[in-house]
Structure 1
Amino acid sequence: MASGNPPAAPGHGHPVSEPVRVVVVDDQELFRRGLTMLLGIEQGIEVVGEASNGADGVALVVSSAPDVVLLDVRMPKQSGIEACVAIKEAVPTTKIIMLTMSDDEADLYEAVKSGASGYLLKDSSIEEVAQGIRVVADGQSLISPSMAAKLIDEFKTMSKPERSAGPALKLTERELEVLRLVARGLSNRDVASQLAISENTVKNHVRNILEKLQLHSRMEAVMYAVRAKLVDLD
């Protein structure tokens, strides 16, 4: 049930006049319809479609090319994690937020590995969800506070000396600086302030880092930085 609006041009930012185009995928009809209705009255957000399972969600995202898709983790036909992988392969410009009841760190970890840019629990307020959509559409990452600690704990268990530091040699000194700061949880604005460069320059550095390391999201970049011993989370 996507609207007739044409898909946004890939790779282009949104002028203030253009809303963030969103697809909602959840098998619980009441929750899905309620979320769609509430997001519909949020300024700067336009819900362009909804689906009740992962398979239909992937098809809808491919046909409508939204800026952001909200995915439940556990759904019939195709799980949210499987849908996440399929969406990142088919429409890599679409950002993904997992919106779920699952506070299982294994689901969180798999979502991050699969290319999700955000992970929010369903007890989040509509304001938190709307802000999450805006943040992720802007190229940043977002995790529910209660899940962030679990992700950090997961990172700390990555003690195997994987030889993943090699590709980091492709990064410039400035890109390594940016990666270390991103891995510590700093926003683009905070990184820009700390390095005395523009926020747009930070965005360009982050994009180059992801391309060089063949990663999908800032959260994957954090995982990479921890594995490569580029940052100490203790």
Structure 2
Amino acid sequence: MGRWSILLADDHELFRTGLAGLIDGQPDLQVVGQAGDGFEALTLARTLHPALIVMDISMPVCDGLEATRLVRAMPELADVRILMLTVHDEDEKLFEAIKAGANGYLLKNTTSGEFLRGVRSVLAGEAILPPRLAARLMEEFARLATRSPSEENRQRNSLSVDNALTVRELEVLALIATGASDRQIADQLFISLHTVKTHVRNILAKLHAANRHAAVDQARQRGLL
């Protein structure tokens, strides 16, 4: 039986090296690549097609949430599983990770044994969450289930004043709809790559979209494109 292939994405090289040593010491697991940011992780994932990406949620240039959205937007990576790692058990980050398409969520202060169990569970098709956050997630689902259809439709079909897209965000969204990359959008609008990424994050948040394709679909439904 072969070993499960794993891609590590974390901007801290020392932490990555430690994880790689732990994983490579297992008879059924092996690290096939390491990335220092989300864009590098996406590039390596398309080349290596690992079974699992262990992704730090906080990275420079492109964080784990955006990288997860980008991976999920790639049809050829549909079967790649993603396990998010974070230092803090923030509810907001948990919900964003789940919406982005993560299959599991572990704290970095977990033990080696717990980490390996989490990795194998995600590879086996299970969803992994810290107990407290799993309970919080269930509470949120229960709250959403009690909302009236009219309230849900209002939230889905309208943007509040606070969530209205800016003129620049609409320009970025229009270019996203053409399939343009962040770099192409930056070149087209004469703005920095960092600024484009900020606009993309804001667009996804305001439209409550898990990824770029979902944002375009939402925008079309609302008559924004």
State the TM-score, normalizing by the size of structure 2: 0.62
Aligned to 2:63: 79
Counterpart-to-counterpart distance in 1, 2:11 and 2:68: 15
Superposed counterparts of 1:195-214, under 5 Å: none
Provide structure 2 residue ranges, at least 5 long, that are not aligned to the other structure: 153-209, 211-225
Q: Deviations over 1:131-177 (max 9, x none)?
A: 2121111211111223212222322331323589xxxxxxxxxxxxx
Counterpart-to-counterpart distance in 2, 1:150 and 1:28: 29
Secondary structure at 1:38 match in 2: helix
Contact 1:98–1:119 (8 Å) recurs in 2: yes
Aligned to 1:137: 123
Secondary structure at 1:102 match in 2: coil
Counterpart-to-counterpart distance in 2, 1:104 and 1:123: 14
Sequence identity percentage: 33
Is residue 2:9 matched to residue 1:30? no
Select between 50-59 and 149-158 the one with higher mean Cα deviation. 149-158
Counterpart-to-counterpart distance in 1, 2:21 and 2:52: 16
CA RMSD of aligned residues (A): 1.8
Provide structure 1 residue ranges, at least 5 long, that are not aligned to the other structure: 1-16, 165-215, 217-234
Deviation at 1:111, TM superposition (A): 0.6
Q: Measured at CA, do residues 24 and 162 of structure 1 come closer, stay the same or move farther in structure 2, by a change above 3 Å?
A: farther
Counterpart-to-counterpart distance in 1, 2:104 and 2:114: 12
Is residue 2:47 matched to residue 1:63? yes
Q: Deviations over 1:204-230 (max 9, x none)?
A: xxxxxxxxxxxx9xxxxxxxxxxxxxx
Superposed counterparts of 1:33-52, under 5 Å: 33-52=17-36
Name the structure with the higher helix share.
2
Count the aligned residue pairs: 149
Contact 1:39–1:126 (8 Å) recurs in 2: no
Counterpart-to-counterpart distance in 2, 1:102 and 1:111: 13
Counterpart-to-counterpart distance in 1, 2:141 and 2:14: 36
Deviation at 1:42, TM superposition (A): 1.7
